[in-house]
């Protein structure tokens, strides 16, 4: 993957009915778990959501996640506080976010589309997702990912802003 490929990755919210192959899912999850992690704690955990009923339940918990109803698959990305470095939420969120980015890039590299849907830190969303999917207390659902074969193709773009870059000091 080159920089142009990275710039072409966009949030995809419309999908075809074509299913995700098992090897595509496996490759994306392997890429997610190749992310850096503080002290190699690897606190990420994944719940693959395949059934329509489960995708609907997840969409019910996420006000901006209605595309899950039409995606062939969803993934809830969680972090386990019991294994996060120093059992710290900050390390968990950094590690899980790196895994999410790798997951999104791996899906894009395979010609698939996805969108990152926030769960944490919205207490109502966290509680609803935990209850709906039997997630233990020490595991935090950080985000959900809707994924599938894209039915839309937004233009590549950059969001680079030179004013956000400082050299040597602020």
Full set of structural domains in the chain with CATH: 15-152 (3.40.109.10)
Q: Whose structure tokens read 């993934």?
A: 75
Q: Is 143 helix (H, G, I), strand (E, B) or coil?
A: strand
Decide: residue 135, CB within 10 A, 0-12 exposed, 13-18 middle, 19+ buried: middle
CA distance linking residue 58 with residue 118, whole number of Å: 12
pTM above 0.75, yes or no: yes
In order along its 170 residues, the chain shows pLDDT tens digits of 788 888 899 999 999 999 999 999 999 999 999 999 999 999 999 999 999 999 999 999 999 999 999 999 999 999 999 999 999 999 999 999 999 999 999 999 999 999 999 999 999 999 999 999 999 999 999 999 999 999 999 999 899 999 999 999 99
Task: Name the CA radius of gyration of the chain, rounded.
Answer: 16
Q: What proportions of the chain, in percent to the nearest 5, are helix, strand and coil?
A: 40, 20, 40
């Amino acid at each position: 993957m080159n920089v142009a490929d990275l710039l072409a990755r966009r949030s995809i919210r419309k999908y075809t009915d074509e299913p995700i192959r098992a090897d595509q899912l496996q490759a994306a999850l392997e890429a997610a778990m190749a992310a850096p992690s503080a002290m190699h704690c690897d606190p990420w955990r994944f719940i693959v959501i395949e059934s329509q009923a489960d995708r609907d339940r997840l969409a019910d918990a996420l006000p901006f996640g209605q595309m899950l109803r039409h995606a062939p698959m969803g993934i809830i990305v969680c972090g386990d506080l019991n294994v996060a470095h120093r059992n710290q939420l900050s390390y968990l969120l950094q590690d899980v976010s790196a895994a999410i980015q790798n997951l999104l890039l791996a899906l894009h590299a395979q010609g698939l589309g996805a969108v990152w849907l926030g769960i944490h830190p919205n207490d109502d969303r966290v509680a609803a997702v935990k209850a709906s999917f039997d997630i233990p207390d020490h595991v935090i659902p950080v985000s959900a990912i809707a994924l599938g074969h894209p039915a839309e193709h937004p233009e590549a773009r950059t969001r680079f802003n030179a004013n956000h870059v400082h050299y040597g000091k602020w």
